[in-house]
A = this chain, B = another copy of it.
Amino acid sequence: MNISTKVMGRLARYRALLTDYFPKEKTHIFSHDLAAMMGLSASQIRRDLMCLGYFGVPRYGYEISELVKHINNVLDASKLHHVAVVGAGNLGRALMTFLESRRATLKIVAAFDDDPDKANRVLNGVPCFHMDLVEEVVKRDDIRIAILCVPGAVAQRVTDLLVKSGVKGILNFAPVPIRIPVGVVLEEIDLTSALERVAFFTNNRANAPKEKRHADR
């Protein structure tokens, strides 16, 4: 089964919802109910769950603990990944706090910044190093994934350094597109354009895409 980025992202969100925000006393759930909570269609939920190799029982729905176990399985949740935050400005530090302890298998083990005042300190619970030490620390701590929060002007340069040091996956928050060599995984989150999208469709309802996620579904 080939899992697309979209399916993969939804599976992660199903798991988060079921493990963190679902009544503990419930043991089963219907595709229909999960759909309502997620703001998706029931058939889409079922289609996604088909990737898991776990099957629900008609009339009973899906057993939540099994479902979570199978999602973990497919998402390889047992492997521990070391993650670095690169650029310890406001956004970088906020992400350290936000992401820490949210997924046990994704551990933020280092931060890097250009500012000498930030180096050699513990920021938001994460040891911070000067950018000059990227290559050394990335190799030493086996850091495979970087969260990039540096200014746009240096984003490409820092990316090249990270890749050279052995980083295999980058989550980019810098407001410019970056280039990576084959074999490195890139995910970009453009916060500005996300806000602009909301603004656009807010006063432009005519152009709005198909409505989803409405309360009275």
Q: List A residues at the B interface (Cβ < 8 Å).
A: 2-5, 8-9, 12-13, 16-17, 20-21, 37-39, 75-76, 79, 81, 83, 89-91, 93-95, 97-99, 102-103, 105-106, 124, 144-145, 147, 152-153, 168-171, 175-183, 185-187, 189-205, 207-209, 211-217
- Which of A105, A168, A178: most chain B CB closer than 10 A? A168
Are A199 and B21 in touch, CB under 8 angstroms?
A: no
- Of all chain B residues, the one with the shortest Cβ separation from A175 is B16
9 nearest A-B pairs in the assembled complex, by CB-CB distance: A169-B202, A94-B94, A12-B193, A90-B94, A169-B198, A179-B215, A12-B196, A91-B94, A185-B201
Q: Please state the number of chain copies in the assembly.
A: 2
Q: Which residue of B lies closest to A108 (CB)?
A: B195
Chain B proximity of A6: nearest CB distance (Å): 9
B153 with A21: CB separation less than 8 A: yes
Q: When the two chains form their complex, are residues A37 and B177 in contact, meaning their CB atoms are under 8 A apart?
A: yes
Contact between A17 and B103 (Cβ–Cβ < 8 Å)? no
* A and B contact pairs by CB, cutoff 8 A, 17 listed: A2-B207, A5-B201, A9-B193, A12-B200, A20-B176, A37-B177, A79-B203, A90-B94, A91-B98, A102-B192, A105-B199, A106-B196, A177-B213, A179-B214, A186-B198, A186-B213, A187-B198
Is the CB–CB distance between B90 and A145 below 8 Å? no
Partner of A181, one of B4, B145, B194, B216: B216
- Asked whether A205 lies within 8 Å of B187 as measured between CB atoms, the reply is no
Contact between B191 and A95 (Cβ–Cβ < 8 Å)? yes
Whether B168 lies near A202 (C-beta < 8 A) is yes
Shortest Cβ distance from A147 into B: residue: B195
